[in-house]
Amino acid sequence: MSTTAARGSHPAAVAAGDDIPVNRRRRSEVWPALAFISPWIVGFGIFTLWPVIYSGYLSLTDYDVINPPSFVGLANYEQLWNDPKIALSLKNTLYYTVLSVPLHLVGALFLALLLNQAGRATGFFRTAFFLPKMTPPVAVGVLLLLLLNGQSGVLNEVLGWFGVDGPSWTTDPSWVKPGLILMSMWTIGSTVIIILAALRDVPQELHDAAMVDGAGPWQRTWRITIPMISPTLFFVLIVNTISAFQMFTEAYTAYFGSGNSTYSNDAALFYVVYLFRQGFEFLYMGYASAMAWVLFVIIMAVTAIQFWGSRKFVFYQGDQR
Amino acid sequence: MTALEPRPTALPVPEMSDRALRFASDEETGPTGDDPGTRRGGHAGRSRGRRLAWQISVGALLLFFSVLFIYPFVWLLSASFKPRGEVFDNRLIPKTFTFDNYLTVWEQAPMAAWLVNTVIVTVLATVTVTMSSAMVAWGFAYFRFKGRNALFGLVLGTMMLPGAVTMIPTFLIWNALGQVGTLTPLWAGNLFGSAFYIFLLRQFFLGLPRELFDAAKVDGANNWTIFWRVALPLCRPALVVTFLFEFQASWTDLMRSLIYLRDAADFTVPRGLKSLLDRYGFGGEWHWEIVVTASVITTIPVIILFFIGQKQFVAGIATTGSKG
């Protein structure tokens, strides 16, 4: 992130680091700066710092909002360890993440490479690809139930043309997650745009030079384009993994009834869905807080592993990392 | 997360108005955005015919995927004009065209109230987050003080925190303030800025030539005037991006309305759609035509928004990736 200050366009911004001696003029800038930043500082204190600390405390208590929290030590974590639904929801979440993240990455890269070849029509196609991303996730959940419906859904109708007897995507427990993943591919658009922007930044000189050396289009894609955009691919990988771990709205919409009609589907019981139900439907706020902390630790660990693993594969231009 | 190091530009041009917006405008004039047949794909030794075949197959593939992405919208829209029995007939042009579903939704659900609620939440959320984030971003971009980078690192660090960790204590705050069941918790957190937008806007402010502000200072402008009169107007493209992103985010948010809203009359449109799905969908009475129509009503506003601000949306998202 430090590079953000060193944008090159603004020497003054570059010079302003922590290690610059604080002179008089600078000292006078602290207060106006803090005045401008104060909304964030206040908000950070109230809506981030305190909640983080308090949820840590709550995770050690039994709390149902009505009665005051009662301290139970690590009992919630112990219960969590033995809760088969936790294991199930973790398994579901991992299944979804492990399949959807690489599929999104490869799919978006493919579409971005295609778009990069589109010439003047890029704008039209980009709009078409991005539009689904605008759709409210609730509506995506509804669409999932409609389009992937086992009996009359359009997907199975199309599969039928090819003689394939499509599965019951929305009811068969072993097909519920593949259905969700398939539907999530529909909202791939923002990833495509991020990758396309990176493709546009690959210097043409590199391609020209490789062409002079006799490299064909495939070689240039694998040896130049992909390494050059690897930081962006890595960024997308991190962000998409973190959000896949927190999958909620589409699954909750489609498979968990609230209000008068309650229904649920264990195959779509993702971790955050389970957490939400524990906290806000069953009011086990202490237990849900413990769940949240476990999720936090898992996400941090996975991100750390990804950073560690990326050292070999991510190429930072002009930056020896 | 180290950013893609951009090639140095000669002019201190604002990031988004330059590279990203150029990227967003369709007729690419950039160095690499040209026709594959002319320069980029001018594979030495390839015949004209092969180039043409390549272009046609790329075009065909793109068209195929576009149809795939657009199809669900068309399906949904056309299903909303079908009577109950024909919703699942998968025809794109309804056999029997009816407008009844829209009237039924209007009668069966407080759709007008939901729309009004959502507009209130969305407007308040977008205006407050744009203003507060711009202020904070300016604080980080213009002033120099010890610990600035560390503090800004903290801002960015909050983006990594899963929402689930703060969800319950935040609920307890609003509960203690007696705001559960009102629309306040859906937007008021935005008064304090949001890390992603602060980051976006700071990037933009850093790209503005500092001489402008120094000149204003010499002319006797105070800090607020420099921000409000000089910096903010120059920052319009980034403000628009912030506004559009937050509009989409708060219009479509379900989780917060699930947590905070209790009475059907107070629902936002996504929350309302979920309640209609529960009543008429899977677990309910199988009136899918109502669910379909409500989905269209929920989706249309953001689609319109996208067509209004398409350029800014695309530019904003492009910026997200390259600065990661």
Q: What is the pLDDT of residues A197-255, one digit of tens each?
A: 999 988 888 888 888 888 888 888 888 899 999 999 999 999 999 999 999 999 999 99
Complex ipTM, two decimals?
Answer: 0.85
Best-predicted range by mean pLDDT (A168-182, A261-275, B19-33): A168-182
Rounded Cα–Cα distance for residues B313 and A219 (Å):
33
Instruction: Point out the residue among B89, B169, B310 whose CB comes nearest to the CB of A127.
Output: B310
Mutate to test the interface with B, among A36, A114, A186, A316 (most CBs of B within 10 A): A36
Instruction: Point out the residue among B2, B162, B259 whose CB comes nearest to the CB of A319.
Output: B2
Rounded Cα–Cα distance for residues A26 and A21 (Å):
9
Query: CB distance A193–B12 less than 8 Å?
Result: no
Please state the rounded mean pLDDT for residues A102-109: 96
Instruction: Point out the residue among B31, B145, B167 whose CB comes nearest to the CB of A292.
Output: B167
Torsion sign (Cα): A97, A103, A109, A112:
negative
pLDDT class of B275 with cuts at 50, 70, 90: very high
Amino acid at A190: S
Mutate to test the interface with A, among B168, B180, B262, B290 (most CBs of A within 10 A): B168
Chain A residues with CB under 8 Å of B9 CB are 8-9
- Looking at residue A318, what is its pLDDT? 55
Chain A residues with CB under 8 Å of B149 CB are 2, 5, 17-18
Report the residue count for chain B.
324
Cβ of B109 under 8 Å from any chain A Cβ?
no
Rounded Cα–Cα distance for residues A62 and A65 (Å):
10
Instruction: Point out the residue among A111, A120, A295 whose CB comes nearest to the CB of B162.
Output: A295
Higher pLDDT, B18 or B86: B86
Instruction: Point out the residue among A8, A157, A272 whose CB comes nearest to the CB of B164.
Output: A272
Query: CB distance B168–A58 less than 8 Å?
Result: yes
- Looking at residue B24, what is its pLDDT? 58
- Looking at residue A317, what is its pLDDT? 66
Nearest alpha-carbon partner for A4 in B146, B316, B152: B152
pLDDT class of B116 with cuts at 50, 70, 90: very high
Nearest alpha-carbon partner for B37 in B51, B26, B53: B51
**Whether B290 contacts B276, CB under 8 Å:** yes
Query: CB distance A9–B13 less than 8 Å?
Result: yes
- Looking at residue B312, what is its pLDDT? 84
- Looking at residue A278, what is its pLDDT? 95
Cβ of B57 under 8 Å from any chain A Cβ?
no
Cβ of B206 under 8 Å from any chain A Cβ?
yes
Cβ of B177 under 8 Å from any chain A Cβ?
no
Residue B324 has pLDDT above 90, yes or no: no
Rounded Cα–Cα distance for residues B24 and A36 (Å):
31
Query: CB distance A199–B32 less than 8 Å?
Result: yes
Instruction: Point out the residue among A125, A141, A261 whose CB comes nearest to the CB of B284.
Output: A261
**Whether B242 contacts B315, CB under 8 Å:** no
Measured in angstroms, the CA of A9 and the nearest CA of chain B are apart by: 5
Exposure string of B264-277, with b = 16+ CB inside 10 Å and e = fewer, is eebbbbbbbbbbbb
3-state secondary structure of A61: strand
Query: CB distance A146–B150 less than 8 Å?
Result: no
Nearest alpha-carbon partner for B156 in B314, B316, B3: B3
| CB-CB neighbours of B199 under 10 Å | 22
Nearest alpha-carbon partner for B127 in B286, B279, B274, B239: B239
Burial class, A232, CB count within 10 angstroms (exposed 0-12 / middle 13-18 / buried 19+): buried
For residue B282, give every residue at least 6 positions away whose Cβ sits within 8 Å of its Cβ, in sequence order, or none. A145, A254, A257, A263
Measured in angstroms, the CA of A159 and the nearest CA of chain B are apart by: 14
Q: Return the beta strands (E) in B127-252 as ranges.
A: none
pLDDT class of B265 with cuts at 50, 70, 90: very high
Chain A residues with CB under 8 Å of B147 CB are 18
Least confident of A270-274, A300-304, B20-24, B255-259: B20-24
Residue A261 has pLDDT above 80, yes or no: no
The helix or strand, by DSSP H or E, that contains position A70, with its residue range, turns out to be strand A70-71
Least confident of A15-19, A169-173, B3-7, B284-288: B3-7
**Whether A191 contacts A236, CB under 8 Å:** yes
Output the six-digit token pair for B40. 């980029």
Q: What is the mean pLDDT of chain A?
A: 87
Q: What is the pLDDT of residues A109-154, one digit of tens each?
A: 999 999 998 878 888 899 999 999 999 999 999 999 999 988 889 9
**Whether A258 contacts B141, CB under 8 Å:** no
- Looking at residue B8, what is its pLDDT? 35
Residue B3 has pLDDT above 80, yes or no: no
Instruction: Point out the residue among B7, B148, B227 whose CB comes nearest to the CB of A16.
Output: B148
Nearest alpha-carbon partner for A13 in B231, B204, B230, B186: B204
Query: CB distance B72–A2 less than 8 Å?
Result: no
Query: CB distance B258–A120 less than 8 Å?
Result: no
Nearest alpha-carbon partner for B41 in A74, A146, A151, A216: A216
Chain B residues with CB under 8 Å of A279 CB are 167-168
Instruction: Point out the residue among A4, A22, A153 whose CB comes nearest to the CB of B203.
Output: A4
Please state the rounded mean pLDDT for residues A91-107: 97
Nearest alpha-carbon partner for A61 in A71, A53, A52, A51: A71
Query: CB distance A146–B88 less than 8 Å?
Result: yes
Rounded Cα–Cα distance for residues A299 and B77 (Å):
38
Window 232-271 of B, Cβ < 8 Å to A = 248, 251-252, 254-255, 258-259, 269-270
- Looking at residue B315, what is its pLDDT? 84
Measured in angstroms, the CA of A281 and the nearest CA of chain B are apart by: 9
3-state secondary structure of A71: strand
